[in-house]
Chain A
Amino acid sequence: MQLTGAEIVIRCLQEEKVEYVFGYPGGSVLFIYDELFKQDQFKHILVRHEQAAVHAADAYSRSSQKIGVCMVTSGPGVTNAVTGIATAYMDSIPLVVITGQVPTAYIGQDAFQEADTVGITRPCVKHNFLVKDVKDLAVTIKKAFYLAKTGRPGPVLVDIPKDITTQKCDFHYPKSISMRSYNPVVKGHSGQIKKAAQLLLEAKRPMIYAGGGVILSDASDRLTRVTRKLGFPITQTLMGLGGYPATDGQSLGMLGMHGTYEANMAMQHCDVLLAVGARFDDRVIGNPAHFGQVARKIIHIDIDPSSISKRVKVDVPIVGNVPDVLDEILKLLEAADSKPDAKGLASWWKQIDEWRGKKSLQYKQGSDLIMPQYVVEKLYEVTGGDAIVTSDVGQHQMWAAQYYKFDKPRRWINSGGLGTMGFGLPAAMGARFANPKATVACVTGEASIQMCIQELSTCKQYRLPIKIINLNNGYLGMVRQWQQMFHGNRYSESYVDALPDFVKLAEAYGHVGLKIEKPADVEPALREAFVKHKNELVFLDILTDPTANVFPMVAGGKGLSEMILAEDL
């Protein structure tokens, strides 16, 4: 049967069992939206800005295991979407982005709403396609879904000129696809895995360092089994939180620029390091030269060969799918005659407990000003530690990561790589669509929330009962912190004058707004939001101590063990 390009797009999405498409219509995608109108197999979610469409699809994926799908029009639709696409790319989130393009004959003529979509997005997608023949459309969309999810995941974009959506051809959706130029490795090298198991068993001061790859590959159960079997300490990156239960005794919490004292010290001083689905980035290990001063053997498991030995030389590289490799390691550990070095391990744990004794996340909550850390701790209590928490970017993001203890994967949703302000609210929407029964909280700040505030309207349209925890300190807090610490207290453009009345703003969009100014009111207000207003969106505008800073801190260019602690100041 002959179908138009527009019909083919819809049929492909149905074949892929897509539940939601996040998008915004426009001239170049009108025929696709016309076909979308005629079907009810999947739902379209109308956002208020294309950036939010991509963030929502992104968080839909992060909080499920599914591929996020979004659709925007040509030109400004695409350029608005770029921030979202780059965000997903940096965190390896599988997305399929369908974009309209001006008709084939107009391409290159500076037509209305024309942009070189494939050119603009090339550096921030896993791959992109411009469809030039309707006969290629179905197979291209199939490839997009295949590429997005396999290997190291990422966003894939399909640019479809308007005339292609009206042309007809036979529809056939391929069941499977293979590409001679794309064969991601799954199984790890058995010799290397053997070496890794041997090193782990010989270690005296071992450490496990787990990143976002554990979450993306659904390997947290395997990671937990390996960690418990070995009895080793484990730390997680910002992207890896939830990959191992934070409340477990073997967890040292997050490492890196704002990691715990014990995690950073153990990372620096270990003799064998098992890195799993992590990439030793600058926010994690600080200065690589300083990190390299201590001799340690590094085992690195990653699906992406280019992540290995990029910033830090490793001794045992294992390219492969994390859960498969961990399974192999576990098998070897179970079959091994020897056990981990109990004596060495005991004295290592003693050392770690000493570091823990620093209590590097301690803060004081007085009776006047609300401490932001306190709000996150109360949020953790009130939600029973079981909420999906999204965040924007800045101090509030770090506090959420430090004080909300994630025991399960896919509960902590944030823009780690790109660090995109404006991510939190649309991400909360996407997470809620993927988890319609979950409690969803967005921890944000008064600056970040205003970067996608228009989505309060989308939340109303779809009755999304998100709880927005606005840690309002009146400043671009992280910028202010750096200016205080490294720029002689010169607060250049980091004070946001003329903030809106967030309570009235929430009400204007048809939601509930609450303003909280005293520490004693924090918990009651959270209970009111999560219990009384369970089924409504509540905007909690919480005025917090404007001078609060995030500690511990490893300053830019410093080594991991050169932390600034709250007590030092």
Chain B
Amino acid sequence: MRHIISILIENESGALSRVSGLFSARGYNIESLTVAPTEDASLSRMTIVSIGSDDIIEQITKQLNKLIEVVKVVDLSEAPHIERELMLVKVRATGKDREEMKRVADIFRGRIIDVTESSYVIELTGNGAKLDAFLDAIDRSLVLETVRTGVCGVGRGDRILKA
């Protein structure tokens, strides 16, 4: 099962390696990992997507909670939540492809944020499946470069993760 684990952690040097080290040392899988400071600069929020049985995810949560710098851990996927990922795609955009690329980007609510004579950079957000679907919808041979942030997410409604 795919789980999205959100972590509030002290924003200190080495915090990321404590978390990633825990995953590699115990053989847990990381599909994606994002991290950045929160509105309280002393805290970072990390989002990890991992795949594992319920037992493994339970161990992951417990082991994360054991890390001294971890303030809170929640498994977002346990309840209603929203997840988003940002992707930047650089595509070749010349001739008839130029118009077609703009059209597909619009359908996916993407935005063209850089334009040259021969290329676009398209910014796209959504869940992972939507980003994949966009890549499937365009001519792959036109893709020059892609970069994805990995998933971040929040719980819906009253579910709040705060120190």
Contacts and interface: CB of A to CB of B under 8 A. Distances in A.
B145 to A, nearest CB: 31
B59 A306 contact: yes
Interface of B: 9-10, 13-14, 17-18, 21, 25, 55, 58-59, 62-63, 65-66, 68-71, 163
Interface string A109-141: 000000000110011001100100000000000
A182 interface: yes
Contacts of A182: 68
Given A147-B68, A305-B62, 12 more contacts: A122-B14, A122-B21, A123-B21, A123-B25, A130-B13, A152-B66, A180-B71, A181-B70, A306-B59, A306-B62, A306-B63, A309-B58
Nearest to A122: B21
Interface in A219-244: none
Contacts of B21: 122-123
B17 A122 contact: yes
Contact of A305 (B9, B65, B71): B65
Interface in A140-167: 147, 152
A123 B17 CA distance: 10
How many chain A residues sit at the interface, stated as a range, is 10 to 19
7 contacts: A127-B68, A130-B13, A181-B9, A181-B10, A181-B68, A305-B65, A305-B66
Which interface residue of B55, B58, B59, B68 has the most chain A CB atoms within 10 A?
A: B68
A179 interface: yes
A119 B62 CA distance: 22
Nearest to A123: B25
B94 to A, nearest CB: 46
A183 B19 CA distance: 19
A569 to B, nearest CB: 37
B163 to A, nearest CB: 6
Nearest to B66: A306
A43 interface: no
A310 interface: yes
Nearest to B72: A181
A122 B14 CA distance: 10
Nearest to B42: A180
B163 A309 contact: no
Nearest to B10: A181
Contacts of B18: 122
A152 B62 CA distance: 13
Contacts of A126: 68
